[in-house]
Amino acid sequence: MNDRIDSTAHYRALDAAHHLHPFSDMAELNRAGSRVIVKAEGVHLWDSEGACIIDGMAGLWCVNLGYGRRELADAAHAQMQALAYYNTFFRTTHPPVIELSELLAQLTPQTFNRFLYCNSGSEANDTALRAVHRYWALQGKPDKRYVIARSNAYHGSTIAGATLGGMSDMHEQMPSKMEHVVHIDQPYWFGEGGEMDVEAFGLARARQLEARIIELGAENVAAFIGEPFQGAGGVIFPPSSYWPEIQRICREHDVLLIADEVIGGFGRTGEWFAHRHFGFEPDVITMAKGLTSGYVPMGAVGLSDRIADAIVNGGEFNHGFTYSGHPVAAAVAVANLKLLRDEGIVARVKEDTGPYFQMRLRDALSGHPIVGEIQGVGLVAGIQLAENPVTRKRFVNGDDVGTMCRNLCFNNNLVMRASGDRMLLSPPLVVTHEEIDEMIAKAKAAIDATASALGLA
């Protein structure tokens, strides 16, 4: 039934009538009609018309293991039959959450041994703030309540997540935000570096953090939060000077460093966590997406021993969700992480598929008339479109140019996302060389067509 041609119109009509999509202009979408995705396998999706689409975004940065893995379905099935649900509030626990916690302690840096659970990346960031505030209160420093974040960051869409994020389109639709959150500028050299040297720019942007801490008073600042590389903001990789300086500043002023690893975690950069690629050591790690490869929702927060010890010894921490550590989600997470580890998938991203992907992308697009820079490592990349790549002159209608390019990809059965004038790729970590070649050929065709449409080919 799903692949009957005549079912598409029916699905679209019902979707338009009853379903509100995230981050979508619904009137416009309903006029165009949604594409109905009915099945997936490996790195490929199929729509209700029978078209096969190659997924260059791993769903929404989450399907690290690829689609259709029987082991995860089996883990969920077995767990649902054994214990579909039980809470962990009132002196109870269960095997999947115990096993997951031990596994996360092995995969995260040595100083991380305790984990809190939730259902999404947004909730993970909310939870991180709850834990950070609790920690400072227990230290007798309740005034340390400011959290510093960055412009064009993405930390989710709850009130706290969206306040922490630096997306002005989201802030505009929020009449009230969380208190005690302030932003500094993002480390985006191509767009904002002007004539500065890249590394000097990285240092200057990091030092905005120090200036803001001093302005607020270090005794009032709880934490700094950042994605190791900005994901939704455009796969923006900071200059290599940036993170070591951020870490120095946080240490010197006793400000906790929260790494939002919701995208970067679980192999995306070829490391288990992206902060390792950038060479810094966070105090708190937030996770979701690749934790379960998106098969079921789950988020987690890792607390370094300094924070976890204080919370453990500090009496009751009044926080949790009905589904904290959900047994089915935890069982799927365990199966997922074991496959990523035991099949050598993360190691392969570092040694083989990641370098191959980055090399092919640069071979195909360096020097292209509308490509200003290509950033990325492992299996994640941002491709900056620009009117003049040499002078870094950006398109005045960059959002439209990005959208045009994205639509050309989608019509040619490649999912590549646009963030303003940057094109993003983040395929499942199981992608093969042949599939990488196919993705990059399709991406290049779309960028060529975009250049032609603009008269810049």
Ligand X SMILES: *Cc1c(COP(=O)(O)O)cnc(C)c1O
DSSP symbols for 413-435 = TEE-EEETTEEEE---TT--HHH
Residues 209-225 as b/e (b if ≥16 CB within 10 A, e otherwise) read bbebbeebeeeebbbbb
User: 263 or 385, CB closer to ligand X?
Assistant: 263
- Least CB distance to ligand X at residue 139 (A): 27
Of 260, 272, 256, whose CA–CA distance to 222 is shortest?
Answer: 256
47, 126, 260, 271: residue in contact with ligand X (rule CB under 6 A): 260
Q: Contact at 8 Å (CB) between 218 and 212?
A: no
Site string for ligand X, 286-315 (x = CB under 6 A): --x---------------------------
115, 146, 154, 229: which one contacts ligand X (CB under 6 A)? 154
Two structure tokens written together for 86:
């039980």
3-state helix, strand, coil in the chain (%, to 5): 45, 15, 40
What's the min distance (Å) between Cβ of 338 and ligand X? 22
When the beta carbons of 193 and 233 are compared against ligand X, the nearer one is: 233
CB of 316 to ligand X, least distance (A): 26
Q: Is 425 in the site for ligand X (CB under 6 A)?
A: no
427/383 Cα distance (integer angstroms)? 14
Which one-letter amino acid corresponds to residue 94? Answer: H
Q: How far apart are CA 358 and CA 375, in angstroms?
A: 9
Tokens standing for residue 376 = 């990325």
Taking residues 98 to 137 in sequence order and writing x for each that binds ligand X by CB under 6 A, - otherwise, the string is: ----------------------xxx--x------------
The Cα–Cα gap between 203 and 182 comes to 19
Residue 293 and residue 63 in contact, taking contact as beta carbons nearer than 8 Å: yes
**Residue 324 CB, nearest approach to ligand X (Å):** 15
Closer by beta carbon to ligand X, 170 or else 196? 170
* CA 199/CA 101 separation, integer angstroms: 38
Residues β-bridged to residue 45: 40, 53
139 neighbors 310 (Cβ within 8 angstroms) = yes
Strand order in the sheet with 299-304: 112-118, 299-304, 284-287, 256-260, 221-226, 146-150, 181-184
> Maximum Cα–Cα distance for the chain, whole Å?
67
DSSP state letter for 191: H
Contact 426/290 with Cβ under 8 angstroms? no
Considering only 145, 155, 348, 422, the residue that binds ligand X (CB under 6 A) is 155
* Contact set for ligand X, span 270-289 (CB under 6 A): 288
Q: Does 262 bind ligand X (CB under 6 A)?
A: yes
Query: Would you count residue 156 as binding ligand X (CB under 6 A)?
Result: yes
Phi and psi (nearest 5°) for 346?
-65, -40
Q: Considering the complex, state which of residue 155 and residue 275 has its C-beta at the smaller distance from ligand X.
A: 155
Pick 120 or 163: Cβ nearer ligand X: 120
Could you say which of 226, 231, 354, 427 contacts ligand X (CB under 6 A)? 231
Q: Measured from the CB of residue 115, what is the shortest distance to ligand X in angstroms? A: 17
The residue among 277 and 368 lying less far from ligand X, judged by its C-beta, is: 277
Nearer residue to ligand X within complex by CB, 228 or 398: 228
Nearer to ligand X among residue 156 and residue 166 (C-beta): 156
Question: Of 43, 65, 232, 250, which one interacts with ligand X (CB under 6 A)?
Answer: 232
**Stretch 201-230: interaction string toward ligand X, x if CB under 6 A:** --------------------------x---
Identify which of residues 96 and 265 has a Cβ nearer to ligand X in the complex: 265
- Which letter, b or e, does each residue of 88-118 get, where b requires 16 or more Cβ atoms within 10 Å of its Cβ? beeeeebebbebbbebbeebbbeebbbbbbb
Tell me the per-residue interface mask from 24 to 63 with ligand X, x by CB under 6 A, - otherwise: -------------------------------------x--
The distance of closest approach from Cβ of residue 123 to ligand X in the complex, given in angstroms and rounded to an integer, is: 7
Q: Which is nearer to ligand X, 228 or 239 (CB)?
A: 228
Which of 346, 300, 291 lies closest to 72 in space, CA to CA? 291
Taking CB positions, which residue lies at the least distance from ligand X?
A: 121
Which structure tokens are listed for 7? Answer: 């079912």
Judged by beta carbon, residue 270 or residue 290, the one nearer ligand X is 290
Number of residues binding to ligand X, judged by CB under 6 A: 15
3-state secondary structure of 197: coil
Kindly list the residues in this chain that would bind ligand X in the complex (CB under 6 A).
61, 120-122, 125, 154-156, 227, 231-232, 260, 262-263, 288
